[in-house]
Amino acid sequence: DGGITQSPKYLFRKEGQNVTLSCEQNLNHDAMYWYRQDPGQGLRLIYYSQIVNDFQKGDIAEGYSVSREKKESFPLTVTSAQKNPTAFYLCASSISGASTDTQYFGPGTRLTVL
């Protein structure tokens, strides 16, 4: 089945630790995205990538880092510099990253800082 997978589904982190969220897609999409969702708010863009080895900051990139070494994978690292990392994180992909493309979403990862 083609789709986007995210792991783990639930993640717990102690303060001061870095954690990495996985996102993999087998849709052969060029573009991938990371969004953060907080209660009562819509999704906000953290980072996006339209091509391997290239990515751009979104609206709330501070405290996060990404890499895009393979077309299929776009991991997100939540660093200790992120002041309020508890949230639901959604990964998405689209065919080329053009604004005309529909973005398809993974099932998400719930991150909780203890």
Partner 1 sequence: AQTVTQSQPEMSVQEAETVTLSCTYDTSESDYYLFWYKQPPSRQMILVIRQEAYKQQNATENRFSVNFQKAAKSFSLKISDSQLGDAAMYFCAWVIQGAQKLVFGQGTRLTINP
List residues near partner 1 by CB under 8 A. Answer: 31, 33, 40-45, 48, 50, 56, 58-59, 88, 90, 92, 97-100, 102-108
* Cβ at position 84, least distance to partner 1 in Å: 18
Task: Show Cβ contacts of residue 96 under 8 Å, excluding neighbours closer than 6 positions.
Answer: 29, 30, 31, 50
The amino acid present at 99, given as its one-letter code, is S
Q: Which is nearer to partner 1, 45 or 72 (CB)?
A: 45
- Dig out the tokens for 84 from the structure: 């309020």
Nearest approach, Cβ of residue 80 and partner 1 (Å): 26
Q: Residue 109 is encoded by which pair of tokens?
A: 């990862």
27/43 with CB nearer partner 1: 43
In angstroms, give the least distance from the CB of 99 to partner 1: 5
Return the number of the residue (43 or 80) whose C-beta is nearest partner 1: 43
Task: From 16, 33, 6, select the one nearest 95 (Cα to Cα).
Answer: 33
- Would you say how long the chain is, in residues? 114
